[in-house]
Amino acid sequence: MPDDKSNSWEARAAAHTLYGFTDLPTVAARGTVVLTGGHGPYVTDVHGRDYLDANSGLWNMVAGFDPPGLIAAAQEAYGRFPGYHAFFGRMSDRTVELSEKLIAVSPFADGRVFYTNSGSEANDTLVKMLWFLNAQEGRPERRKILTRVNGYHGVTVVSASMTGKPYNSVFGLPLPGFVHLTCPHYWREGKEGESEAAFTARMAAELEEVIAREGAETIAAFVAEPVMGAGGVIPPSEGYFEAVLPILRKHGIAVISDEVICGLGRTGRAWGCETYGFVPDAIISSKALTAGLFPMGAVILGPELADRLHRASEAVEEFPHGFTASGHPVGCAIALKAIETILEGADGAPPLIDGVHRLTPGFEAGLARLAEHPHIGEWRGKGLMGALEAVQDKATKTPFPGHLSVSERIANACTDAGLICRPLGQAVVLCPPFILTEAQMDEMFGKLERALETVFAEVA
Ligand code: PMP
C-alpha cells in the first residue's frame, strides 16, 4: 500500500469511477481492488497480489487472462483492419466469416447473425426484431415477452424489463408487456411433498394459464437461459424444457435461448440448449463469444426467423437498427479465434471445452462436499457453473436474515484469501475459466471452504 492513502489506487478508484452492481458502503469500508492484469485464471492487483478468479471475470474470460493465441489474433486484426461497421450494405470480411462460423456451430441448418456490443443489446435487438416483423406481417399486437423470475437478460430498458429481478423496480421497470413466470427452481419453489415431476407439471400448467390470461395472439416470445446464471446458477427442474416447449410451439410463440453465459462450452456442450435437448428459434450469444477479449454480442436467428426478418425488411426497405461497432472486424477476428479455441482446438492445443469435460466431475464433487456443511442448503450447477446456497436452517431451508449479508461476507473472506467468487442472493457462485488445472481447482475449493467456516462461525 502506498503511504499516502489519499493518493492510493483505492482512493483514486473511489473518487471518479461509478461501479456497476456494487454495494457502495462495503466498498467504502473495504476499498476497491484495482487490477493491472492477469495470468491463467489469476488476476493481479496494483500491489502485486494474485487472486484466483473463480468467476472468469463476469463469466466471460473462459480462456483465462493471458490467452496467447487470442491476444495474437487481436493484435493481427488491429494491424489489418482496426475498425468498421456492418451498415449500408458494407461489412468486413471477418464479419462474413464469423457469421458463417456461428451458423455452422449453431444447432441451425441455416440462419443469419446480427452483431451488438453486449448481451443486453442483443436481447433488445431480438425484441425489436420480433416487434418489427410481427408488425410487418400484420400482427402488431404480438409484442409481449415471457421470461422467468430470476432470469437475467441485461440492463438496458428492454433487457432489464426481461430480467426477473425485483431490483429493477427502482427504475420503474419492467415496461408493460414483460411477463415473468415462476422460476423453475425445484429446491426453492417446490411445495411440501411435491415431487420434481409434479413441480415441472405445475410450471407447464402455469405457462398455459399465463398464455390464456394474456392471449396467445399478444405474445411474441419466451426467452430463457438454459441454466439461469446471474439469478444464482439455477438449472431448470427435471423435464422443464420438454414440458414447456410444446405449449409454446402450439401457441406460435417464438422460443429464444439466452446463451450469453451458457453458450460456447460452459455447460459441456457448444450451447446450453443442446445440453437440454432443444432447438430454439434464435440464440443470444456474448461473453465467451470473444472469450471476454472484446465487447460483442450476437443475435443468431434460425432459418425461419431469419427469412421472416429478411422479407419484412425488404418490404420497408430496411430494418432500422444497428450499432456503430456492429460486426467490428477486430471483434469478429477475436470471436473466430475464440470459437476455434473453445470448440475445435487452436494452435495445436486441444479444445478448451475438453477442459470443461475433464473438470466437471471434480467440480461437482467439490460442490457436493462443501454442501455437506450444515449451513449449505443445496449445491447446484451444470458443467463449469455452480452455486452453493447458504441457509440458516438446512431442514426448513430458512435463509439467513438479510442484514447479515452472509454471501457477501463469504465472498469478502474469499477475496481476503486471494479467491474471487460471487455472492448472488444467499448463494455463492463459481464459474471458473475452462483452463483451470486440478491443483487450481483444489485451491479454489480449499479457500472457499475456509471462508465458509469463518463466516458461518461468525453468524451462526
Ligand atoms: N443475458 C444473460 C444470460 C447474461 O448473463 C447477461 C450478463 N451477465 C446478459 C444477458 C447481459 O449481457 P451484458 O452484460 O453484456 O449486457
Residues 369 and 322 reside in one and the same domain: no
119 Cβ inside 6 Å of ligand 1: yes
C-alpha 8 to ligand 1 mean position (Å): 32
230 Cβ inside 6 Å of ligand 1: yes
- pLDDT at res. 416: 97
C-alpha 120 to ligand 1 mean position (Å): 6
pLDDT in tens, 59-87: 999 999 999 999 999 999 999 999 999 99
CA-nearest of 326, 319, 322, 323 to 132 is 319
The verdict on residue 288 lying in a domain is yes
pLDDT in tens, 162-212: 999 999 999 999 999 999 999 999 999 999 999 999 999 999 999 999 999
C-alpha 285 to ligand 1 mean position (Å): 9
Query: Which amino acid is it at 254?
Result: A
Atom of ligand 1 nearest to the CA of 118: 15
Q: Whose CA is nearest to atom 10 of ligand 1?
A: 153
pLDDT in tens, 388-404: 999 999 999 999 999 99
The verdict on residue 24 lying in a domain is no
296 Cβ inside 6 Å of ligand 1: no
C-alpha 127 to ligand 1 mean position (Å): 15
C-alpha 163 to ligand 1 mean position (Å): 10
Query: Residue 420's domain is classified under what CATH number?
Result: 3.90.1150.10
pLDDT-wise least confident of 7-11, 264-268, 302-306, 338-342? 7-11
Residues 107 and 178 reside in one and the same domain: yes
Residues 235 and 369 reside in one and the same domain: no
Domain termination residue (choose one: 344, 378, 393): 344
> Is the pLDDT confidence value at 1 over 70?
no
Residues 37 and 141 reside in one and the same domain: no
272 Cβ inside 6 Å of ligand 1: no
Mean pLDDT for the stretch of residues 36-61: 98
C-alpha 387 to ligand 1 mean position (Å): 18
The verdict on residue 22 lying in a domain is no
Residues 334 and 454 reside in one and the same domain: no
163 Cβ inside 6 Å of ligand 1: no
Mean pLDDT for the stretch of residues 295-324: 96
Query: What share of the chain in percent tops pLDDT 90?
Result: 95
The verdict on residue 1 lying in a domain is no
Mean pLDDT for the stretch of residues 38-44: 98
Residues 83 and 49 reside in one and the same domain: no
Residues 228 and 106 reside in one and the same domain: yes
The verdict on residue 2 lying in a domain is no
Distance separating alpha carbons of residues 176 and 158, to the nearest angstrom: 10
Residues 298 and 375 reside in one and the same domain: no
Domain termination residue (choose one: 344, 359, 382): 344
Enclosing domain of residue 182: 70-344
Domain total for the chain? 2
Mean pLDDT for the stretch of residues 431-449: 98
Residues 113 and 51 reside in one and the same domain: no
Mean pLDDT for the stretch of residues 124-153: 98
Record the pTM.
0.97
Distance separating alpha carbons of residues 211 and 296, to the nearest angstrom: 33
Block residue for cell numbers 461509478? 18
327 CB contacts (<8 Å, ≥6 apart)?
84, 85, 86, 91, 92, 95, 98, 115
Query: Residue 297's domain is classified under what CATH number?
Result: 3.40.640.10
> Is the pLDDT confidence value at 6 over 90?
no
229 Cβ inside 6 Å of ligand 1: yes
Residues 392 and 258 reside in one and the same domain: no
Q: List, edge to edge, every strand of the sheet that includes 42-45.
A: 35-39, 42-45, 50-53, 419-420
The verdict on residue 308 lying in a domain is yes
Residues 184 and 278 reside in one and the same domain: yes
Domain termination residue (choose one: 319, 344, 369): 344
- pLDDT at res. 400: 97
Atom of ligand 1 nearest to the CA of 295: 15
443 Cβ inside 6 Å of ligand 1: no
Residues 318 and 282 reside in one and the same domain: yes
- pLDDT at res. 4: 63
